[in-house]
Amino acid sequence: MKGRGLIFLLLGVGLLLASGPASGWVSGTGAVDISRSVVNRMEDFEYYNAMSGDGSLDIGNGLKDVSKSENDSSARTTRLSYSGDVPLVGLKRVEQGSLLRGTHTSVEEAFSATQIEKEQTTSIGSDNSQLVGTDTKLSFNGTYMTSSNMHQAFSTDVSSHQIFTGNFEIDKQISFGGLADRKPSIDLVVRPEVSWAEVGAVVTRSYEIANIETVPVRDLSLVDSRVGPVALSKTDLNPGEVASAVASFTVLGEDLPGPLNDSVRVTGVDFQSKIAVDSAASTVNLIGPWGLNMTVAAIQPCASAGEVVTYVYTINNVGDFTIGELNLTDSISGGPIAINATLSPGDSLNFTANQIVTETDLPGPLTNSVSVSGTNSMGEVVESSAEVVLQLC
């Protein structure tokens, strides 16, 4: 059987280090009877650990990891290996706080196994952080149990209990921490991110907001820069829950030539009024009455004097009629340059153009303006233009 658990709880940093097993290793075969108890009434902290059995035992500290993580914490690892005909029976309990002070957290672990391999790393936060994490990996043949509880007066009660006997694959996470260490977080998704629309078309967007942290979020509010405030399916989210919304708008003539680059922002708060916020962008490319769409891009992000810059031109027929008599003009070669091609609706053409960067182009940037014109099958002149600005390295 294999298991892995991650436990966070509110603990005193110095006490936790003091409560670990003694330095060094113990290795041998025979009767095992180990116990350790630490009580600190000044900080309402209690640690208890006991094991007994008869078999082959290896136990001790791993390497102490003093590196910093994103929580600015150090870590210490302990390892245990046991095998024998008589089960090794163990009990571990860590408690912090008291009901009188309004916060009480406890984590218990018990096992009875004829074979067990266990590695546990304890991470301790610094910079006034009271967050402590234990990362446990284990494989065993027997029974394993964990129990965890947290009580915060007038706020939160959490209780969890698991017991496993047999063959299991276990992957679980239990997290406790001071309210100061817990921050709300939400994730916003807007669909579609990019779309095409013509004048008079109705564009519909869908929104999803997920609570991706471990604290509830309330008073959610979503604003789309194109349509304004958007009503959500619900404004309070428990951890893991999702709210949704839909909004629409009509593309107007004054929106041409586009594109419409809009921002979306959602905000909320937790029960301590800590702010949760996320934002996203949505783009609508507009199809004008001309039916042509011109894009231009440089294949390198920047260029130096003496280098050759290669531009890629793309011409799309995004209209409903065939377009011919195409002519292209750019800032490099002038023009117009006749293009011997006809574009049916939905067709596209790609061209490349090269420009040598000279000393006279310094300090930059390089600007290449490109336009294309043609005549559609209705006899109407259609055109489109685009511009790319390239910085000099």
Query: Is 177's pLDDT higher than 60?
Result: no
* Two tokens, residue 183: 């921050």
pLDDT score for 17? 41
The stretch 298-312 carries a mean pLDDT of 89
Q: Going by C-beta distance under 8 Å and a sequence separation of 6 or more, which residues neighbour residue 211?
A: 184, 185, 186, 217, 237, 238, 239, 240, 241, 242
Q: Spell out the long-range contacts of 27-31 with Cβ–Cβ below 8 A and sequence spacing 24 or more.
A: 27/57, 27/58, 27/59, 27/60, 28/56, 28/57, 29/55, 29/56, 29/57, 30/54
* CB-based burial, 244-271: b 16+ in 10 Å, e otherwise: ebebebebeeebeebebebebebbbbbe
CATH code of the domain occupying 186-287: 2.60.40.10
Q: Give pLDDT tens digits for 41-82.
A: 766 677 788 899 999 999 987 654 444 444 444 566 888 999
Q: What is the DSSP letter of 180?
A: G
pLDDT in tens, 5-15: 444 444 333 44
Give Rg (Cα) of the chain: 33
Residues forming beta bridges with residue 40, ordered by sequence position: 45
Q: Across residues 221-250, what is the average pLDDT?
A: 95
Sheet architecture: strand order including 366-376: 302-303, 381-392, 366-376, 323-330, 334-339
* Domain ranges in the chain with CATH number 2.60.40.10: 186-287, 292-392
Q: What is the pTM of this model?
A: 0.41
Taking the CB of residue 366, how many other CB atoms lie within 10 A of it?
Answer: 19
At 354, list the tokens. Answer: 């090269």
| CATH superfamily label, 292-392 | Immunoglobulins (2.60.40.10)
For the chain, the helix, strand and coil percentages under 3-state DSSP, each to the nearest 5: 5, 65, 30
And the tokens for 272? 């301590």
- Residue 85: is its pLDDT beyond 70? yes
- Given a cut of 50, whether residue 340 has pLDDT beyond it is yes
E strands, 290-365, are 292-298, 302-303, 308-317, 323-330, 334-339, 348-356
pLDDT mean over 294-318: 89
Does residue 28 have a pLDDT over 80? yes
Residue 180, token pair as written in the block: 């100061």
Instruction: Express each pLDDT in 239-268 by its tens digit.
Output: 889 999 999 999 987 887 778 999 999 999
- pLDDT-based confidence at 22, cuts 50/70/90? very low
| Largest Cα–Cα separation, the chain | 99
Q: Which two tokens stand for residue 57?
A: 């035992």
Average pLDDT, the chain: 80
User: pLDDT category, 21, cuts 50, 70, 90?
Assistant: very low
For residue 384, which of 311, 314, 309, 312 has the smallest C-alpha distance? Answer: 314
Instruction: Give me the pLDDT at residue 181, please.
Output: 53
Percent of the chain with pLDDT over 90: 31
Q: Which residue has the higher pLDDT, 170 or 181?
A: 170
